[in-house]
Chain A
């Protein structure tokens, strides 16, 4: 039976946390841009004429918006999964912030991010059944190592796609749509509500991060976004749906690792996968030693401007989100008994 109070509560709580995250990030970002610029915390935007200097990182501002919304959500729901997602996000942010301030070796982020998975295990935010599209598997013991893998992979996947203006924030905003739907169907209302601050915070960030960027998220921003995405997928029983939605970014990481054959920072790679032309369009490198990336494959068809490349990446995000939505329909059909397991 449909309980109208449940839906009213869900709508009101959802509106509150979404608005808090969106408006705090939107309000604070212009101030952050001014403050970082005046302090000289800027980095060159290498794809622009005269290598304009852009303030970085936006991670702390995004964190303030998301954490405020999540704390309020916790007092509204008293659900420990919200706390687990919150702590995972904060730890991932701290790791990224260290990387923003100091040049750390390539292994630092993947290894340190294992620690950010700890709150998920400590608060038992994970389930014991893993949804596998055509059914589910009871894996109470296997789930813990899986959690320790998912969070670092999700964090680094989003971090590695942050190559052009607005790509990381825009990509996550698009791929959050199937994740939100999946969490609503296969997870719980509390985890669904806890995902809304990430969705609206990322949209608010995108307004300043899109081409031409006024601020960069930095490692603190991208690791925060990626790890929170992974934590929501775990707590909302939507791990595979999330992987499918993130396929272009997963493909980017896979191609990079398969061609470089070790975990390194992009800045440590000697041969660049793309080259900047005189007219500030980008072209794919012809160097056989250059790493293979999603960007290089997009440019294999011919040079493009930064804005056009962003648009192409967003088209791929829409496509993978569509595949993710098909997967949700298949999974729902099997788990609800419409189709026999």
Chain B
């Protein structure tokens, strides 16, 4: 099948997205419930900044992973 390689690539991208979202749900989203006493506006900003930083780090890891996958795929398919 001509598209098998691309189908595999897209499937791995999908699995990476699912893994990243699972990590966000399990570890990042509950941060505000871990610190329930923080109720002021400043505290909400601090929690949001922490959540944003972790999310950005996950996105960077995701992009680096995709870049690595791209290189492996290209070596296999186009032999660049």
Contacts and interface: CB of A to CB of B under 8 A. Distances in A.
A312 interface: yes
A145 B22 CA distance: 22
A288 B13 CA distance: 24
Contacts of B77: 297, 300-301
A289 to B, nearest CB: 10
Interface in A301-341: 301, 312, 315-316, 319-320, 323, 327, 330, 341
A248 interface: yes
Contacts of B48: 139-142
Interface residues of B, number: 35
A248 B5 CA distance: 12
Interface string B13-32: 11001100110111011001
Nearest to A304: B2
Given A141-B44, A254-B66, A320 B10 contact: yes
B10 A288 contact: no
A112 interface: no
Given A284-B78, A296-B78, A300-B78, A138 B32 contact: yes
Interface of chain B: mostly helix, strand, loop or mixed: helix
A247 interface: yes
Given A139-B51, A141-B44, A247-B10, A258 B70 contact: yes
B80 A288 contact: yes
A316 B70 contact: no
A8 interface: no
A5 to B, nearest CB: 37
Interface of B: 2-3, 5-7, 9-11, 13-14, 17-18, 21-22, 24-26, 28-29, 32, 44-45, 48, 51-52, 55, 63, 66-67, 70, 73-74, 77-78, 80
Given A134-B26, A136-B29, A244-B17, 5 more contacts: A133-B17, A255-B70, A288-B80, A298-B3, A316-B7
